[in-house]
Amino acid sequence: MSGTLRTAGLFVLLMLLFTGIGWAIGGYFFQDWVFGAIVFLSLAAVMNIISYFLSDRIVLWSYRAQLVEEKDVPQLYRVVRRVATLSNLPMPRVALIPSMTPNAFATGRNPRKAVVAVTKGIFNLLTEPELEGVISHEMAHIKNRDILVMSVAATLAGAIAFMARIFWWSALFGRRGQGNVVILLIVAITAPLAAILIQLAVSRSREYKADAVGARTIGRPLVLARALEKLESANRRRPIDRGNPASSSLFIVNPFRGSALTKLFSTHPPLESRIKRLRKLARELGQF
C-alpha cells in the first residue's frame, strides 16, 4: 500500500506541475490559460500511463539490458533463485547490462513482474557470497514494493529533464525576446522540480531498509558491506557510460560521476553510514 500511495502521489504531483506550466505558457503565448492547462494536463496523463505500464521496459532499454536465460548465466540464476526462495518471493526475470562498470538494480510493476538486472562487470569484482548480498538488497526492494515507485520516478524525472533541455535549446536558437525569457524561466523551474520529484519518491530510508532486509535475509550483513565497499570504489574509478542521472536511484550504488547534476538527483545515503548500520546489525546477530 505504501508503494501504491507513493506512486499515486507522484502522478498527482506531475499533473499539478504540468497543469501549472501549461497555464503559464497558454496565458503568455496564446492568451488562453485554459487551453494551455488542458494541453499540458493531457500530456501529463499520457506520461503517467506510459510510466506506469512501461517504466520497467524504458529503464531496461535505456541501459541496453537484455533478458537472459539460465543457460546464459547459471551462476547468477543460482544466486537469484536462492535469494528469492529465502525472501519468499517468486523468481524474478533476470537481465544483463552490457557494461563493465559493476552495479545492479531491480525494476518492475510488482513482485510477479519484477526484473533483477546486473552489469557484466559485477562478475569480475564480487565473489559469489558478495553477489548474493547485492541480490538480497535488490530482492528487498522488490519485497518492500519499492520497484514500481523507483522506476516510475526515474522515468518521469527523466522525461521532465528531457523537456527542460528542449525548452533550453529552443530558447538558445529561437527568436530573441521576452518569449525566450519565459522559456528559460520554465527551464529554471522544471529541472529542480524533477530532482525534487526523485527526492520525494525515493527517500534514503528506502536504501537503509533494503540493506537491512537483504542482510537479514541471507544472514550475513558484513558480506553485503564488503560488496558495497567494492562497488562504490569501482564506480568512482569507472562510472557508467550511458543512462540518465535521474535513474541513479535504481542502482545499489550511484553509477554516475560526481557532477552537480548527479548530486542534485542523488538519493543514496553515504557509504560510511550504510556500512556502519550493517556492522551494527552484524553485532546484533552475534557476528562481531
End of a domain among 184, 201, 218?
201
Is 231 found in the same domain as 109? Answer: yes
Is 90 found in the same domain as 31? Answer: no
Residue whose C-alpha cell is 503568455? 28
Is 119 found in the same domain as 91? Answer: yes
Give SS3 for 253. coil
Q: Which of 3-7, 56-60, 117-121 has the highest mean pLDDT?
A: 117-121
102 vs 27: which has the higher pLDDT: 102
Mean pLDDT of 93-106: 97
Mean pLDDT of 103-115: 94
Among 28-37, 93-102, 105-114, 204-213, which is the least confidently predicted range?
28-37
Pairing of the two strands 115-119 and 104-107: antiparallel
Select which of 69, 128, 130, 138 is catalytic.
138
Is 176 found in the same domain as 265? Answer: no
Is 80 found in the same domain as 46? Answer: no
Q: Kindly state the percentage of the chain with pLDDT values over 70.
A: 77
Say if residue 276's pLDDT is above 70.
Answer: yes
Q: What is the pLDDT of residue 228?
A: 98
92 vs 205: which has the higher pLDDT: 92
Q: Which of 94-108, 201-215, 266-280 has the highest mean pLDDT?
A: 94-108
Say if residue 185's pLDDT is above 70.
Answer: no
Distance CA 100, CA 275 (A): 24
Residues 227 and 104: beta-carbon distance below 8 Å: no
Is 212 found in the same domain as 174? Answer: no
Is 279 found in the same domain as 208? Answer: yes
Is 132 found in the same domain as 16? Answer: no
| Among 167, 154, 170, 160, CA closest to 192 | 160
> Which residue type is seen at 128?
E
Mean pLDDT of 8-13: 75
Q: CA angle at residue 162 from 46 to 247, to 5 degrees?
A: 90
Q: What is the pLDDT of residue 145?
A: 85
| Nearest 10 degrees: Cα torsion 74, 75, 77, 78 | 110
What lies within 8 Å, CB to CB, of 282 at 6+ separation is: 215, 221, 222, 225, 288
- Total domain count for the chain? 2
Mean pLDDT of 162-185: 62
Three cell numbers written together for 226: 564488503
Q: Report the predicted TM-score, pTM, of the whole model to 2 decimal places.
A: 0.81
Q: What is the tens place of the pLDDT at every residue in 196-210?
A: 666 555 667 889 999
Assign 151 a pLDDT band (cuts: 50, 70, 90).
Answer: confident
Is 212 found in the same domain as 115? Answer: yes
Mean pLDDT of 3-12: 71
Is 75 found in the same domain as 50? Answer: no
54 vs 217: which has the higher pLDDT: 217
Residue 39: which domain range? 2-60+148-201
Distance CA 190, CA 194 (A): 6
Q: Kindly state the percentage of the chain with pLDDT values over 90.
A: 47
Based on the residue annotation, tell me whether 138 is a catalytic residue of this protein.
yes
CATH code of the domain in which 72 resides: 3.30.2010.10
Say if residue 91's pLDDT is above 80.
Answer: yes
Assign 41 a pLDDT band (cuts: 50, 70, 90).
Answer: confident
Q: What is the pLDDT of residue 165?
A: 67
Is 273 found in the same domain as 212? Answer: yes
Mean pLDDT of 144-161: 77
Residues 19 and 41: beta-carbon distance below 8 Å: yes
Is 142 found in the same domain as 171? Answer: no
